[in-house]
Chains A and B, each alone.
Chain A
Amino acid sequence: MRFSIWRITLKVIFVVFMLLIMIGPLVGIVIWSFARVWYWPSPIPQEFTLRYWLEVFRQGRVLNSLMLSVTIALLTVVFSITLAIPAAYGFARYKLPFERVLLLLFLMPQTFPQLPVFINLASIFGRMGLRGNIWGIILAHTMASLVFSLWIITATFKSIPVELEHVAQNLGASRFKTFWTVTFPLAIPGIIAGAIYVFLWSMGEFTAAFFIGAPFIQTAPVLMYTSSMGYNLQIASVIAIILVIPSLIFMVLIERFLKAEYIAGLGG
């Protein structure tokens, strides 16, 4: 490529522009999380403090909401993956009755707005005593995450050559033993990717947690929302950073193992 001063200048401008619009919003919340006093038009806060970060480690509503979110996310992962593994194996290896209908059903939640389902679920749970209860949120999260954990794991099973299973079966292994000793160990990386994905999704999920958890349950995103609305930007920023860091790490590590079509669920 020819050396050209214009080319390099353009490239530098582009890099600075990208950094500003992509990283800028994240830098803003980092600064806010340390701000004690910050009046316009100072470029940085007049006074800094660690007070809001300490709340993460001290008993109180920030720590409580984070612990609650981790508990919900872990239980959601357990339920979602346990349900998804057999179903994914079924989709990957068996001819199914009403296959098209089942496929459509399991793809539908990605293609239609989720909000009407969540609010009606909240109303149904309300009559069953599951509203304002963490089990209500866990059930809703299991349902919503099942759709993408299922497709991630199905893709993993499909990528494992079926011939390996045939070999094991020809040597006399039962279908279950074949799955347990051949297919499952090979699928573990995909299953872990799916599990991490479900965990992160559940940690950041707001809508279901807000409608179903109301009024007693405050997960980290719900506390973040109420803090931000009440102009307690520091608390909101601290929670935002804690939730963002694992997402960024995951993005760098795992993204290339996932097929884009299956991760439609994230974000909410």
Chain B
Amino acid sequence: MEVRNRIVGFLLILPAFLILALLYVYPLIRAIWMSFIKDGFLSLANYAKAFDIYSRDILYSVVITSVTVGFVLVLSILLASYLRFKEWRFLDIMYRLPLFIPFLIVGHAMRIFLAPHGTLNSLLTRILKVEELPGFSRSWIGLLWTFVWVMTPYAALIILGAFRALDSSYIEAARNLGASKGKIVFTVIIPMCKPSIMVAAILTFVRTISSLTILVMIGPNTPNMITVDMMFRINFFNDWGVANALGVISYLIVIVLAVYYLRFMAAERGGIKG
């Protein structure tokens, strides 16, 4: 009975498993394999070239992504703390607005909004009574702004979920001992919700560093992030070796975070307890 049960379970998963094995695992292994092939031979030449041309871009990707994660965490913890204690429907809807908007559209909207002669400057120049203001699109500021805009609701949703799931009795206890709200957040809520905050940080990091569409819409022409370099390598040079080497480098950048995340999720059996 036990064995039969396991076989039935496996058969139920088999079709989905096959799709993932053929269309995800196989291309993944191929990406790693191809990154070591140069002119039909095994070599590290692709990596040498990738670091030679793109080491600045690799560093830039990591820095922009880390700064994004920093901003997103601060904002989403602030939002979650506020909404944990107080209902405010306006804020609740506003912060979630970007949640399901495709990145490409966010990039396009921000490009129009933040351009030198864009919607934002059109308004600001009137209020401030000045002739011209610099635009932020095609600069790292616009890029950072867009990433933070689009990533914060998602991180806040995860963190607020954890904050709300927290047993109120801990908070009541701290409050009865005379702790202020700020102190409760820092000494009780944040330490207890650390795993969820880590998950939010990791997913923000991965989504930011693997984003291509926002960059092609609003990113600076140079320096670029690795995803854009991969696209150029393929579209303009037909150079799959270096593109795949860059892909593997992006895997190596996230691997420590990914392992933490996978262990956390697997421990919860896919994030659903019980």
The answer to whether A binds B is yes
Residues of A within 8 A of B (CB): 15, 18-29, 31-32, 40-41, 43, 83-84, 86-87, 89-91, 93-97, 100, 102-121, 123-124, 139-140, 142-143, 146-147, 150-151, 154-155, 158, 175, 200, 203-207, 211, 221, 224-225, 228-229, 233, 236-237, 240, 243-244, 247-248, 250-252, 255, 259-264, 266-268
Q: Chain A residue with minimal CB distance to B204?
A: A264
Contact B230 A116 (CB under 8 A): yes
A-side interface mostly: helix
Nearest Cβ on chain A to B102's Cβ, whole angstroms: 3
Contact B103 A260 (CB under 8 A): no
**B residues contacting the other copy or chain, number (CB 8 A):** 92
Contact A139 B23 (CB under 8 A): yes
Tell me if B181 counts as interface (CB < 8 A to partner A): no
Known contacts A28-B112, A158-B272, A267-B103; can you find 4 more A-B pairs with CB under 8 A? A29-B108, A87-B13, A120-B244, A240-B108
Tell me if B128 counts as interface (CB < 8 A to partner A): no
Chain A residues with CB under 8 A of B122:
40-41, 43
Nearest Cβ on chain A to B272's Cβ, whole angstroms: 5
When chains A and B are docked, how far (Å) is the Cα of A31 from the Cα of B90?
24
Q: Chain B residue with minimal CB distance to A211?
A: B234
Tell me if B134 counts as interface (CB < 8 A to partner A): no
Contact A121 B100 (CB under 8 A): no
Mind listing 6 A-B residue pairs with CB under 8 Å?
A25-B112, A87-B12, A93-B9, A116-B27, A120-B27, A225-B217
A102, A112, A247: which contacts B206 (Cβ < 8 A)? A112
Q: Chain A residue with minimal CB distance to B260?
A: A111
Q: Chain A residue with minimal CB distance to B9?
A: A94
Chain B residues with CB under 8 A of A108:
24, 258, 262
Contact A90 B6 (CB under 8 A): no
B119, B210, B266: which contacts A100 (Cβ < 8 A)? B266
Contact B6 A84 (CB under 8 A): no
Contact B108 A121 (CB under 8 A): no
Question: Known: A94-B9, A105-B25. Is A25-B110 also a contact (CB below 8 A)?
Answer: yes
Comparing B36-44, B46-54, B149-157, the segment that makes contact with chain A is: B149-157
Nearest Cβ on chain B to A191's Cβ, whole angstroms: 15
For the complex of A and B, the 5 pairs showing the least CB-CB separation, nearest first, are A204-B102, A94-B9, A116-B247, A113-B210, A90-B12
Question: Known: A24-B119, A140-B23. Is A247-B102 also a contact (CB below 8 A)?
Answer: yes
Question: Known: A228-B108, A228-B217. Is A244-B101 also a contact (CB below 8 A)?
Answer: yes
Contact A146 B149 (CB under 8 A): no
When chains A and B are docked, how far (Å) is the Cα of A268 from the Cα of B208?
10
Nearest Cβ on chain B to A145's Cβ, whole angstroms: 11
Contact A24 B30 (CB under 8 A): no
Contact A251 B120 (CB under 8 A): no
Comparing B66-74, B91-99, B167-175, the segment that makes contact with chain A is: B91-99
Q: Chain B residue with minimal CB distance to A79?
A: B19
Chain A residues with CB under 8 A of B60:
none
Contact B13 A91 (CB under 8 A): yes
Question: Known: A90-B10, A94-B12, A120-B30. Is A29-B112 also a contact (CB below 8 A)?
Answer: yes
Tell me if B83 counts as interface (CB < 8 A to partner A): no
Nearest Cβ on chain A to B55's Cβ, whole angstroms: 18
Contact B28 A268 (CB under 8 A): no
Chain B residues with CB under 8 A of A106:
16, 20, 270
When chains A and B are docked, how far (Å) is the Cα of A151 from the Cα of B240?
33
Q: Mark B129-158, 1 if CB is under 8 A from A, else 0.
A: 000000000000000000001100010011
Question: Known: A116-B248, A244-B105. Is A261-B100 also a contact (CB below 8 A)?
Answer: no
A28, A111, A244: which contacts B261 (Cβ < 8 A)? A111
Question: Known: A94-B9, A95-B5, A121-B27. Is A112-B112 also a contact (CB below 8 A)?
Answer: no
Tell me if B186 counts as interface (CB < 8 A to partner A): no
Nearest Cβ on chain A to B54's Cβ, whole angstroms: 15
Chain B residues with CB under 8 A of A124:
26-27, 30
Chain B residues with CB under 8 A of A41:
117, 122, 125
Q: Chain A residue with minimal CB distance to B209?
A: A113
Contact B23 A21 (CB under 8 A): no
Contact B108 A112 (CB under 8 A): no
